Structures are given as C-alpha cells and as structure tokens.
Amino acid sequence: MLEQIQEAARFIQANTSVQPQIGIILGTGLGALARELTIEKTLNYETIPHFPLSTVEFHSGKLLLGTLEGKPVVVMQGRFHYYEGYTMQQVIFPVRVMHALGVRTLLVSNAAGGMNPDFQTTDLMVIDDHIGLLLPQNPLVGPNPPEFGDRFPDMSEPYSKALIEQAFQVASERGIALKKGVYVSVTGPQLETRAEYRMLRQWGADAVGMSTVPEVIVANQMGMAVFGVSVITDMCLPDTLEKADISKIIAAAGAAEPKLTELMRGLVKRL
C-alpha cells in the first residue's frame, strides 16, 4: 500500500504546482465550497493511480488543487464509503495520499442524522468526539510501515481543540450558529430503526452517519490536526420518526451549504 500511496502522490505532484498544506473532504450534498476555490488543477479520481471510484450519485469524484483564502489546498469532492464495497484501506487511501502531498491539517464534513432533540434540520454540528466501534473493519489493521505513524495511535483528542475553538470564533464573528456533539459512524447503507436510534443515543451520540471516522483515525495516526463538522440533514428521533426521503436530505444539505462554506472559509483563513 505504501508504494501505491507514493505512486498516486507522484502522479498528482506531476500534474500540479500546488503544494497543499490543508486537505478538505466534502460530504454528501456539500460541494459548494469547491466554487470558492481558485482551482489550478482538477483530477478525476479515475485518472489517479490506485484511487477508488466514487459510486454514490451525490459525490462527483474529483480531486481539486488550488488555493482557498490564499492557502494551498487539496479538496476531495466526493469520498468513499465502506458500504460501496471498498475495504477500509481503500476508503482512507486518499487521506494517506494527502499526507504524502504535505497536508498536515484535515477538514472533513458530512451529512448526518440528528439524534439530539435540541438539534434541527440544517444545523451545523462541530464534531468534538466520535464513536466508531460499530464499524466492521478498522483502517489500521494490517502492516504498519513507519511512514504511517504509531502502531497504537492515541485518540484522546481526535478533533483538534484548537481548531474547534477557532471555528467557534469564526462562527461568532460571522453570525453562524453552531452546535457541538458526538458523531457515530455506522456501516449503512440502510438507515437505522427506531430501536437502533435509541441505542445510539443512549451511547452518547448526537448525530449518525456512514463516513468520516475511518478518515479521522488515519489522520490522527499520521499526526494531522483534524476539524470535523456534520450538517444535520434529517431528524432521527424515535418517537417522531418519519420515513426517510433522500431528496429531502440532499435539499437540507444544500440549504446549509452557505453557512458551512462561510465557516470553512473563515477557518482556512485563520490557519
């Protein structure tokens, strides 16, 4: 895998002069930030050696290199999920490639179901911790060359407290309301039952989704500072649960995009 990572990184470097310091992963329905970039190069995933292909219709499958607020960035417009049939090593492959390119700060976003009754649709929830024990595979299982980082990485602060603090400062300055909570990652692709939502809530989770945690685990192993934010696209309260409508979920993500874009821009500007 190390050779594949290096080959992918060399290919990207050969096709751009950008030396990214910040990596950004855009979740389902959250592609508007890409329009704020000064793009120097766009690479379709299918052209990058060893990159998986995004099979989810709301993920465009492009790697964007350029600048945002004057900072060199690499942006994933579409991520990979375990439910697509990929291994965890494939899911997190782009994060390792980002590190090989020089990225040391990772900003991740996702669409999630809200289980905290104090939340409402289109809220932004800054992730201050996560639960990943329900995932069937761990991205760190297997050979661990020194370039990957510690064999047993510490996870006492998976999301940078400094970045969280800066995000709340940006939000305060720009009039953006933020929540904060725990994100739980599940396999999917089916949505959860009432009983499952009750269980996840009892475990301490505020929002549930099908991504992010594997990426964050690997980023922490490699010493990257991580900031994560969930857009609450539907409410998952067992006693008032309505039938899921994917079109409404995507619409909610779109409605939240302007404030998410403003938050990310402001945070990048401070880095």
Query: What would the pLDDT profile of 155-208 be if each residue is shown by its tens digit?
Result: 999 999 999 999 999 999 999 999 999 999 999 999 999 999 999 999 999 999
What value does the mean pLDDT take over residues 14-36?
90
Give the total number of structural domains in the chain. 1
Q: Are 271 and 107 in contact (CB under 8 A)?
A: no
Query: pLDDT class for 30, splitting at 50, 70, 90?
Result: confident
What value does the mean pLDDT take over residues 31-58?
87
- Alpha-carbon distances of 237 from 35, 55, 61, 124, 192, rounded to whole Å: 34, 29, 32, 17, 11
Alpha carbons 7 and 236: distance in angstroms, whole number: 42
Query: What pLDDT does 32 receive?
Result: 84
Residue with tokens 């945002």: 68
Query: What would the pLDDT profile of 83-138 be if each residue is shown by its tens digit?
Result: 999 999 999 999 999 999 999 999 999 999 999 999 999 999 999 999 999 999 99
Q: What average pLDDT does the structure give for the chain?
A: 94
Query: What pLDDT does 56 receive?
Result: 61
Question: Three-class SS of residue 81?
Answer: coil
Helix or strand holding residue 2 (H, E): helix 2-14
Structure tokens at 19: 């030396």
Helix or strand holding residue 254 (H, E): helix 246-270
Output 163-170 pairs: Cβ under 8 A, ≥24 positions apart: 163/105, 163/225, 163/226, 163/227, 163/267, 164/126, 164/128, 164/227, 166/267, 166/270, 167/126, 167/227, 167/229, 167/263, 167/267, 168/126, 169/270, 170/263, 170/266, 170/267, 170/270
Helix or strand holding residue 65 (H, E): strand 62-68
User: What is the CATH number for 113?
Assistant: 3.40.50.1580
Query: What pLDDT does 91 receive?
Result: 96
Q: Are 199 and 236 in contact (CB under 8 A)?
A: no
Please give the backbone phi and psi of residue 160, each rounded to the nearest 5 degrees, phi first: -60, 120
Local structure of residue 84 (DSSP, 8 states): G
Which residue segment(s) compose the domain that 10 sits in?
Answer: 2-270
pTM for the full model? 0.95
Nearest to 256 by CA among 199, 200, 176, 201: 176
Q: Reply yes or no on whether the pLDDT at 145 is more than 60.
A: yes
Local structure of residue 156 (DSSP, 8 states): S
Alpha carbons 205 and 196: distance in angstroms, whole number: 12
| Count of beta carbons in the 10 Å neighbourhood of residue 87 | 15
